[in-house]
Chain A
């Protein structure tokens, strides 16, 4: 079946850039989403990219998509303590006709 892999943990210093990586297996993925879950809260959509794009920038967020390698990344510039959360990669699988979530990457920001 469709598989989505993320590293489980990332620690960065405040002010540095964070890069969260995701690989997936379904080449027919159309939209690819990043969700954020803050401590004790629900999941909120952070950003997304359509499969015919290779980059999308939204303020401090940059999403890069390499369709050939089925690799998606989320870069957060000037990371702040408020960015500490779990980040989930979620491609919409055209083959399975549903969203597939990765296990999530826990981002810890320290002074």
Chain B
């Protein structure tokens, strides 16, 4: 595709339910980031995938959060037993990799609301 695609664009879920957020990166991009942005706040790093290396999970806020990236392409962020404080916009970005210009291209995000 032409850009980074995220789905769904909006998700409302009940507290305690599990949710899955999907990110389709730009084809050929080896690096993929997940960030979270709460209302009026900056970007909070969650997890980073680079090629076949072990992901950098240092930003995941709790063990309710996990992410995987299948075949070096599509990524899914899963939040188990959602809490109200999980409400935020979840942003995915992909990048060509570590060599040369390492610009990240962002998707439009998934707005998650936990009620």
Our pick among B33, B91, B107, B108 for the contact of A99 (Cβ within 8 Å) is B33
Say whether B103 contacts A100, CB under 8 Å: no
> Is the C-beta of B42 less than 8 angstroms from some C-beta in chain A?
yes
Our pick among B43, B105, B107, B109 for the contact of A88 (Cβ within 8 Å) is B43
Say whether A88 contacts B102, CB under 8 Å: no
> Is the C-beta of B114 less than 8 angstroms from some C-beta in chain A?
no
Say whether A99 contacts B42, CB under 8 Å: no
Against A, the Cβ 8 Å flags (1 = close, 0 = not) of B11-44 are 0000000000000000000010101000001110
User: What band does the interface of chain B fall in when counting residues whose beta carbon is under 8 Å from A?
Assistant: 20 to 34
Q: List 26 A-B contacts (CB under 8 A).
A: A1-B58, A30-B102, A31-B101, A35-B106, A41-B108, A42-B91, A42-B108, A43-B91, A43-B93, A44-B106, A45-B104, A48-B103, A86-B42, A88-B42, A88-B43, A90-B104, A97-B50, A98-B33, A98-B56, A99-B33, A99-B104, A101-B35, A101-B42, A102-B42, A103-B43, A104-B42
